[in-house]
A and B are shown apart, each in its own frame.
Chain A
Amino acid sequence: MTKPVSVVLVGGGHNGLICATYLAKSGYDVQILEARESVGGGASSIKFGGDYTVSGLAHILYGLNTKVCKDLGLDISALKSSEPLNTISLQLDGNHITLGLEAVLGEMISSKDQQAYRTFKREFRGYAEALEPLMMNTPPRLKDMDRKDKFTLAKLGWSLRFGLGAKSMREFLRVGGINIYDVLNEVFDNSALKGAVSFDAVLGQHMGPRTPNTVLTYLQRLWGECQDTQMIPKGGMGKISEILEKAAIDAGVKIRTGVKVKKICVAHGHSDGVVLESGEHVEASIVVSNADAKTTLLDLVGAPQLDAMFCNRVNSIRQNGDVAKLHFALNDLPNFKGLSPQELQHRLIVAPDMRYVEHAFNHSKYGEFSQHPVLEIIIPTIGDSASAPEGHHIMSVSASFAPYDLKGGWSDSRRAFLNRVIETIDQYAPNFSSSIVTSDLLTPLDIEEQYNIAGGHWHHGELSIDQSFMMRPVHGSAQYQTPIKGLYLCGAATHPGGGITGMPGHNAAQRILSSGDLG
């Protein structure tokens, strides 16, 4: 039976879909209002250059949460390739290294480093797993804790102390706040290996390997790895969203697309619905926003409904993106030196050493794009020929660093940045540039516009310590709540952040269900 309460979701990204499905499964009447023509947000497939299908933003599933998959009955196994996804770190001399979940291979990698990698991964996955109670729960408040907050903290303490053991816990506390650069220099000898691991610590962030906090971001990445759902989904990330959409509809969620919410209505401190761009008013007892915090609070709710200092805190959230997305349609398979065509189904990265990554980041600190960008490259057509015309391929690239607020603006620099990326890839695959049929560049500015993410940030806001846990997205609006009663956040802006994980959506739904707001 549907209880006479209605929930409206602003946005149907994967987190919105997941949150809505949980709420609908608990018997509530839920409606999603999505601005784009289809649901999925950053997890979508788009048509480009005529006959090519590619993941719009997110192209690799690092770790969709297994509990979410189980709870909602999501079966994504058919989208997965039979081979586990490895990371191949490209080297100019063709002596690439291959990083797996446990082992690293490569001619230049000493047996000492191979052993060190195993130990390192085991240890750090241990830390990541110890953070589980924090990831899958509302981050506990430190002031005015309720029973659930105390329980989460106790579980976290228990899992850190007894899950890890005293020695590991000490080590965890030592490395937790420092940077990945120092840690990797302690652990490994080979500079290519260090570069490859540091890549995962900074991807999506406005951070270089030497930025403090990069150990935590690396752990967040590893936590995804622990989910065992890592893959390049066949048909693009949109397939994941299709599965989520179906689960939502099956649970009774009503979905409307192509409707942009203009305003979240507030009466007497309580949100009571939304107004669409068309002027239509949709009433609801509860509004849940999948949009980023700035958009939700400053644009949709608006400063007049909020305290002055709080507005300034929201306005100061660092959520300017630093990653560009590029799509290439190719009439030939790029010929990467030292790699077989079969190996091109893996994740290729350009992060040849930590200095390279740090230097690439340096540019963005001063509002420039990287002259030698750090790249994540996939060629999804290797395992999925249906996404391009016969004999053709697509290449999908996440390119760092490309700051949102580029000095002088993006319009005059698009071509130059695109060329830097093409030249970089050409160094590893000389026939690449000549095989390009068409290309598409999304700067963070384009991402903001096309995906409705203010700033175009990977995580809807930096995952730095001051914007994490009980301070995510911002002090005064953590725990999925906002100062407006009956208005919740469920997207990447909330704990534990972005990526196609489903965790913010899951946690937000639990929070809403336990809040009593739904009667």
Chain B
Amino acid sequence: MSAFDVNENVSPINFKEVLQPSPFQSRIDEYGIVQEWMSWNGYKTARVFDTLASEYFAIRSTCGVMDLTPMEKYRISGPDALTYLNRLVTRDITLLKPNRVTYVIWCNDEGKVLDDGTVFHLQNGDYRLCSQHHQLDWLLLSSLGFDVTIEKETHDVAALAVQGPTSCAALMEAGLVDIDRLKPFDIGYMTLNGMELMISRTGFTGDLGYEVWTHPDRALDLWDLIFSVKEQGLFDIRPTGLGALDMVRIEAGFIMPGDDFNTAETAVRADRVRSPYELGLGWLVDLEKPYFTGKQALIAENTEPAKQRLVRLVVEGNKPPMDAFLYDQKGGSRIGTIKSCVWSPILKTNVALADIEFQKGSAPIEIWAEIYYQKELEWRATWARCNISKKPFWAHPRSSITPPQKF
């Protein structure tokens, strides 16, 4: 018996392929010059392909392409699919017509948010739910008493997000001729070179953009089709990583469950969970619709103003307010923390999402961030005034015009 016997049953594959490859992997590897990989739901995903700045500006000024396959996708069908979904999420899904998409959140029994995502009404009574995190357990648990089929189809559907001002024009150039008819949150279907495509006018960038869905077998064909437009020298199209996405989503004011608040499933401490009202997502809660999980708790909570809120802050100055504590005045009492922040290259200011206390339901009169920063390896502290932004920091009219303008 040799000393190595113990390891015999461990497959070497486990060490080589800890992260799952996406159907686009061979192209992603080709473009991933800096090899900055990270895990997104267990998939090998690029944080950056070449430089963060060029990817950010591709999304904001031309066209960025991102692999969406790792996003959790669930197919929800069966006779009770609609009543099931309506009991799951806080929004009224009966209002969602076929070939339309809507943004949703769902809560636990206590009315605390578990995750957010989008519901796609594919065909009559057939839905796809996309979520940030793994939700199969909760979806199955919620299915007790409903005649519904829930299938995880994350790996069975390949998807690319094509986002940016020239995304429509570039895709049309690639042959997706009719997509300029799609209104925001519309879904369209087409067959191109034998590829079955679903196109939705959706995205996480706050800009004009589409998501293109196909069978994993045709993933590389889809990629090549889109990038062929670039090869013809017509548009600059760049693959973009999660780093650039994080920048644009903060600019657009989109929250990231798990980053901006603890999801109810993962929170250990009782005060770390957040209700939709506390996240500024009260507009997604319909207390008039039929019962949904957490409704009773939310009705009760809604009678009192929220004690804390996730808010959008514009932070003055140019020091990055990463993880900064927030105070009600310079050197005053602590009232919160910054959750996500970014220097917005396009707005030329620091923008952030922050969790702060709301005394008696109203925002603090003043908010100050205490920012620690380094100057040639020496730590300094400074104060920066913060202002709550009622609207997303970045919202361009081109994102909602139909048909989109040609750039």
Contacts and interface: CB of A to CB of B under 8 A. Distances in A.
Contacts of B294: 307
Contact of B145 (A266, A311, A476, A483): A311
A309 B108 contact: yes
B291 A312 contact: no
Nearest to A302: B145
B309 interface: no
A272 to B, nearest CB: 14
A304 B296 contact: no
Contacts, number: 47
B295 to A, nearest CB: 8
A298 B145 contact: yes
Contact of B291 (A305, A309, A315): A305
Nearest to A309: B109
Given A309-B109, A483-B296, A304 B145 contact: yes
Interface in B272-329: 290-291, 293-296, 299
Nearest to A303: B145
Interface in A276-313: 298, 302-312
B136 to A, nearest CB: 14
Given A308-B141, A312-B141, A303 B87 contact: yes
A476 B88 CA distance: 19
Contact of A308 (B83, B87, B299): B87
Interface residues of A, number: 17
Contact of B296 (A298, A307, A308, A315): A307
Interface in B111-145: 138, 141-142, 144-145
A308 B290 contact: no
A414 to B, nearest CB: 31
B146 interface: yes
A310 B109 contact: yes
Contacts of B290: 304
Interface centre among B108, B109, B141 (most CB of A within 10 A): B109
A363 B42 CA distance: 44
Interface string A252-273: 0000000000000010010000
Contacts of A310: 109
A307 B144 contact: no
Interface centre among A308, A309, A476, A483 (most CB of B within 10 A): A308
B146 A307 contact: no
Contacts of A304: 83, 87, 145-146, 290-291
B144 A315 contact: yes
B83 A309 contact: no
Contact residue range for chain B? Answer: 10 to 19
A207 to B, nearest CB: 27
Contacts of A308: 87-88, 108-109, 138, 141-142, 144, 293
Contacts of B88: 308
Given A303-B87, A303-B146, A304-B290, A309 B141 contact: yes
Contact of A269 (B109, B142, B296): B296
B78 to A, nearest CB: 14
A298 B145 CA distance: 7
Contacts of B299: 269
Interface centre among B87, B291, B296, B299 (most CB of A within 10 A): B291
Nearest to A298: B145
Contacts of A311: 144-145
Nearest to A266: B291
A304 B87 CA distance: 6
Contacts of B108: 307-309
A427 to B, nearest CB: 46
A88 B291 CA distance: 55
Nearest to B80: A304
Contacts of A312: 141, 144
B81 to A, nearest CB: 13
Contacts of B295: 269, 307
Interface in A315-374: 315
Nearest to A314: B144
A347 B211 CA distance: 75
A305 B87 CA distance: 8
Interface string B51-87: 0000000000000000000000000000000010001
Given A308-B138, A308-B142, 5 more contacts: A269-B295, A304-B87, A307-B109, A308-B109, A476-B109
15 contacts: A298-B145, A302-B145, A303-B87, A304-B83, A304-B145, A304-B146, A307-B294, A307-B295, A308-B138, A308-B141, A308-B144, A309-B109, A309-B293, A311-B145, A312-B141
Interface of A: 266, 269, 298, 302-312, 315, 476, 483
